[in-house]
Amino acid sequence: MRKKAKQRGSAIVEFTLAGIASVFVLISTFQLSMAMWNYHTLALMVHDATRYTAVRGVGCTKPGNTCKVTVGTIAHQIASAGIGIPSGSVNVTLTTDSGAQTSCAPLSSCFSNTTVWPPASNLDNRTGKLITISARYQFRSALLFFWPGQGTQNFAAIWLPASSTQSIIF
């Protein structure tokens, strides 16, 4: 009888100690999986937009062709490929071979931009010239919410970068 009295309540303590660790591992696994999925999606959408732009170079700006690319169409291309990534949390930079940059911060701010890209200045829209599209996505993680000693705790922001460079083909 004395042995059972000493063990009274120990199951609750053990469950609490093991439960806290288990919940942390579960949330960590989910958050890391979410971050990896978002990073992969970001890289895919930047690569697809770069490829989309690379096949629409100088040949598309000549009279009679209607395949010219604008900053707005590139922004829409990126947003449509980025399933699950809000366009208000993505910053995009379009860079030409000569170093001219067009920035969309956030991506949604460029949806109505009708500027032709890559521009004809410095012959940046010629075949063989390089174009680079870079993006950064602000992923909010719940992992740092559990970090001890942080005082007022918020979901932490992690910037996920992606970049793709291709030469203009057509």
Per-run averaged pLDDT (10 residues), the chain, 170 residues: 63 85 87 92 96 83 75 95 90 95 95 91 89 94 65 70 93
Q: Taking the model in full, what pTM does it have? A: 0.81
CA 4 to chain centroid: 56
At residue 40, the pLDDT reads 96
CA 47 to chain centroid: 12
Ramachandran angles phi, psi of 73, nearest 5°: -70, -35
Alpha-carbon dihedral sign for residues 19, 22, 27, 30: negative
**Count H helices, E strands: the chain?**
3, 4
- Total number of domains constituting the chain: 1
Element (H, E) at 140: strand 130-141
At residue 100, the pLDDT reads 93
In the three-class reduction of DSSP (H, G, I as helix; E, B as strand; rest coil), residue 104 is classed as: strand
Domain that holds residue 35: 2-167
The residue whose two tokens read 């030409």 is 96
